[in-house]
Amino acid sequence: MGALAFKNYLASIQALIGTLISTVESLDKKITSLRDRIENGIDVVESQRKLNESENDLAKIRTKIEALKGFFVDIKKKWSKAKDRVIGFVRWAPPIGVGVAPHRYTRDLCVIELYKEKFTSMIGNVLSLGALIFDPH
């Protein structure tokens, strides 16, 4: 990842944290309103159901925020230097071929040797640069 892409990635993490913080503020207002409804005896059963749901959502979002903050710090600490983002090198790359037989396709390939120590979080053929943070849905 080049310098600009890395900077944009960090910015995207911060933007997501900001969005989640806005959601927390909105949920706090909703929870306050629902508590007022319950105290005033307005649609108590439905208000209590919505309150429980909102409090659960709030707890999940706060957990996501803390995880993202930790992820941001970890990524910034471990990957900020350009040399730390080098994960391997091109071992073999034949010339690009145009109209390669038998189907006249373009051939453009390379074999990359990866630095094993950079992939301690690898699960099967899936690359992870950090811990699983959240389910966006």
Mean pLDDT in order along the chain per 10 residues (137 residues): 91 96 97 96 95 97 96 92 90 93 92 84 64 50
**pLDDT value of residue 28:** 97
**pLDDT value of residue 137:** 44
**pLDDT value of residue 61:** 97
Contacts 24+ apart (CB under 8 A), 33-38: none
CA atoms in the 13 A half-sphere facing the CB of 20 = 21
CA atoms in the 13 A half-sphere facing the CB of 65 = 15
Q: Report the DSSP beta bridge partners of residue 107.
A: 97
Give the integer Cα–Cα distance in Å for 40 and 33: 11
**pLDDT value of residue 89:** 92
Give the integer Cα–Cα distance in Å for 57 and 68: 16
Give the integer Cα–Cα distance in Å for 14 and 123: 26
